[in-house]
């Protein structure tokens, strides 16, 4: 069992996060408006994989097989953005196929 943690935007993410997830965290943080700069991340572990949720509705899930992070926004229903550079990814069907 792995315990989660919380940290504030701009703080150093937990060291146990894969670099791909850390890059996704930084990308989300860079896109935030000033009003959201005090938001907090919550790290939980689902089936041994990190899930980072920001108070603003952003969620980052890690696909260990492909070493990529999928960023989604809860409140607008937008598809996720795959931060490994392969473009837009993350429809419900794709997430189900990838086990995310």
CB contact at 8 A, 2 and 48: yes
The two structure tokens encoding residue 98: 């990838």
Q: What is the pLDDT of residues 18-52, one digit of tens each?
A: 999 999 999 999 999 999 999 999 999 999 999 99
In this prediction, residue 95 has a pLDDT band, given cuts at 50, 70 and 90, of very low
Query: Domain limits of the chain?
Result: 5-98
Q: What is the pLDDT of residues 3-18, one digit of tens each?
A: 889 999 999 999 999 9
Residue 54: how many other CB atoms lie within 10 Å: 21
Measured at the CA of 75, the angle between CA 79 and CA 85, to 5 degrees, comes to: 30
Q: What is the pLDDT of residues 55-86, one digit of tens each?
A: 999 999 999 999 999 999 986 544 455 555 44
> What pLDDT score was predicted for residue 97?
53
DSSP percent split of the chain into helix, strand, coil, nearest 5:
25, 35, 40
């Amino acid at each position: 069992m792995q315990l989660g943690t919380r940290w504030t935007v701009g703080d150093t993410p937990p060291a146990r996060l894969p670099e791909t997830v850390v890059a996704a965290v930084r990308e989300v943080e860079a896109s935030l408006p000033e009003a959201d700069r005090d938001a907090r991340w919550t790290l939980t572990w689902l089936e041994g994989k990190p899930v980072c949720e920001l108070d603003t509705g952003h969620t980052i899930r890690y696909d260990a097989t492909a070493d990529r992070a999928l960023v989604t926004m809860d409140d607008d229903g937008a598809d996720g953005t795959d931060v490994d550079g392969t473009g837009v990814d993350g429809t419900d069907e794709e997430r189900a196929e990838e086990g995310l």
